[in-house]
Amino acid sequence: MWVRRLPAALPLLLLAACLNFQTEYPEGSWPKRLYHGSCAGIAGVYANRGDMIPNNYADHPQAELVPFFFDHWTPDEYRDKFSKADHVVLAFGDGVLTAQVLKGDSILATARFSEKDKTLACKQDGAVIRETSGWAHGRGNPLAGVEYSSFTLIATADQSLIIKSEGGGTGLVFMLVPVSASSTTWFHFPRWQP
């Protein structure tokens, strides 16, 4: 009996399994975006501390710029090295975006992204870094599928930096129920004022 009802219930299952956490750019509260059409437009010196668009979890939660450029550290390594950072210098030349993390005049770390090794894409709406995709394995959950993420760096009219963080995935839960989810989060980092 329940087998005959399964086809009728399937669209409801699929609808319930499609999640889209989409947040629009907060035009009224943050600086106007500028599209340079080149990675050179994002060059500058930015404060490591910024904020993200208010969401369901907090109003203007604090954000840090450094984690967008480095993704392989333990919490202890981050606390010991990167938590001391006060600003990040972004430079672009010869198809390479260089991010230097500094505390005062001391360079704590340097990261490079290039068009040649496909860790950087210069697009009309900004510089896309660490664009990744691959198989998702659920990390302890009964899920298998494909996931993706990217960060787009965008220059603004007041010379601050906006980062659009996108991520999502599509897969199967229990190898039976299709799920799809995506999210977009916006971050703002002002120019560094020593």
Structure confidence by residue, pLDDT tens digits, 127-186 = 998 766 666 555 555 566 777 788 999 988 888 999 988 887 777 666 666 777 778 888
126: exposed, middle or buried (Cβ count in 10 Å: 0-12, 13-18, 19+): buried
Closest to 168 measured CA to CA, from 152, 146, 186, 153: 146
Residue 67: what pLDDT?
A: 87
Q: How far apart are CA 34 and CA 41, in angstroms?
A: 9
Under 8 Å CB-to-CB from 186, ≥6 apart: which residues?
23, 25, 26, 30, 52, 53, 162, 163, 164, 165
Q: Per-residue pLDDT tens for 64-78?
A: 899 888 776 677 777
Is the entire prediction scored with pTM above 0.85?
no
Residue 56: what pLDDT?
A: 47
Q: Are 191 and 44 in contact (CB under 8 A)?
A: yes
Q: How far apart are CA 113 and CA 54, in angstroms?
A: 29
For residue 47, give Cα distances in angstroms to 77, 139, 179, 180.
21, 34, 38, 35
Residue 29: what pLDDT?
A: 67
